[in-house]
Amino acid sequence: MSRILLVKIAVFIFTFLLIFGSIILFQKICTGWNKQNSVDINLAQPAGSAIKQIGSVDDNLYIQVTGGQIPDRIIIFNPNYGKIVSNLILN
């Protein structure tokens, strides 16, 4: 291969990388570097309920809730689907 062809290929690759990098940089500047989507979650608990403890196993959050005129309970919540998997009433 001739040197001119190698230079043309290198210029093409570096031009692509420069344009691609500039687009990504512009997108990050416009949207924010560490911007995370916040989601409001409604656990459908009565007034006066309080979260006592939160734990996670695999993809589920285990939320211990007290108060609210009903017995203590554990809510199993899957944040991937945004849904309550189960409610466990503690005696």
pLDDT tens digits for the chain (91 residues)? 789 999 999 999 999 999 999 999 998 888 776 666 677 788 889 999 999 999 999 889 999 999 989 999 999 999 888 889 999 998 8
Each domain of the chain, given as residue ranges in start order, spans 1-35, 49-89
The radius of gyration of the chain's CA atoms, rounded to the nearest angstrom, is 26
Helix (H) or strand (E) holding 52: strand 49-57
Helices (H) and strands (E) in the chain, counts: 1, 4
Its pTM stands at: 0.57
Residue 65, exposed/middle/buried by CB under 10 A (0-12, 13-18, 19+)?
buried
